[in-house]
Structure 1
Amino acid sequence: MTRTDALSRALDTPGEPRLRPLPPTVSALLRALAAPPRLAAHLRLVHDVAYELADWLAGHCPGLAFDREAVLFGAATHDIGKTVHTAELSGPGSEHEPAGRELLLAHGFTQGQARFAATHATWGEAGVTIEELLVSLADKVWKGKRVQDLEDLVVDRLAAAKGAERWEAYLELDGVLGRIAEGADGRLDFQAAFPAHA
């Protein structure tokens, strides 16, 4: 199987459970960049989890305004810099973060869209938006990883928007993240089925 075939499978295979497709502009960019198939699979998985989080948040906390399309785009492109820094597909590193931002800008995407590639690992910094927190959260929980400091920031936003006690907001968020985390093994298997390199 060629890399192009594997990339097409990563982008188009329905998956189990059924995965949502990436935004068409993102799929087209990944094809144009001949992205590593495993990266495409990863972006699709994080996008799918971000979709679940956005649906949940809209239904359970309508008072917390957020840009749903920005969250979904950010999740779909957060690691796109790994098309440049491919060693970071299987090892540590953060060079892909500014590289991803620059890559998106070079391909005509806006500053607002490109920011997620650079901010998805910096959720603890001052001024972080709810959209950035949701992308970061999706990037953790897709594989079942729970990060208390990150979740606390989301809980604070939920509690403030709902006028609820912090513990109530925590229980609500914990419930949805626990449910999403239960599917981590299947998502990890899906990602591992695709090659990291050609």
Structure 2
Amino acid sequence: MHKSWNAGRGSRHLLSMKFPWSMVHCLTRGDSTYPPAKQRSLWWHSVLSGDFFQLPPVPNRDGDKTIPPTFAFDSKTWESCMGHPVTLTRVFRQKDQAFVDILNAMRFGKIDNLDAFKALEREVKYTDGIDPTELLSTRAEVDRVNNSRLDKLPGECQTYLAMEYRGINSKGERVSQEQMGKLLDRLVVPKLIRLKVCLLPRFTTLTNFN
């Protein structure tokens, strides 16, 4: 925030900065760092744009402390910082207005037409044998689905366990066992992976097919 303030001072051009708005305390820090607007003349305007319903990564961490997911508009200084809100309502990615209305209802957590959702409970069968990609909200759900699909594939399952070694930090010191554990916990790469080698019916060899 402080760097952006100094970078834009004296400029007559639009200064665009991208902030991690999942960290709602940025607004509070900015409000406490600079004096109230009534005591000085403002040479700038803040325009915040984006999907403010979007949650930060789960879990979000600040050192050893876990930060719960928080919306940007939950900040204590949101109302004092924001002026007249402008909401863009036209959807360009979808042409089906009924589908758009359902998506908006889900975003606000106010679902009235449950019949439309119940109609989707049927099991869809695909004649080409290729199922669509599933989008899940947590890693635990992803692991559960992947393991379930893996178990259904033919062939023997091979398990590979990662071999971890302590490295050197920026100070040239060897990372402690505790520090290494914390760093590894932040990685998306799992410690253990299960794989199967098999041929699909439509392929007779592994040439150009991984």
Shared fold per TM-score greater than 0.5: no
Q: Of the two structures, which has the highest relative contact order with CA contacts closer than 8 Å and spacing of 6 or more?
A: 1
> Per the shorter chain, which TM-score range?
under 0.3
Q: Name the one with the larger strand percent.
A: 2
Q: Which has the larger radius of gyration?
A: 2
Q: Name the one with the larger helix percent.
A: 1
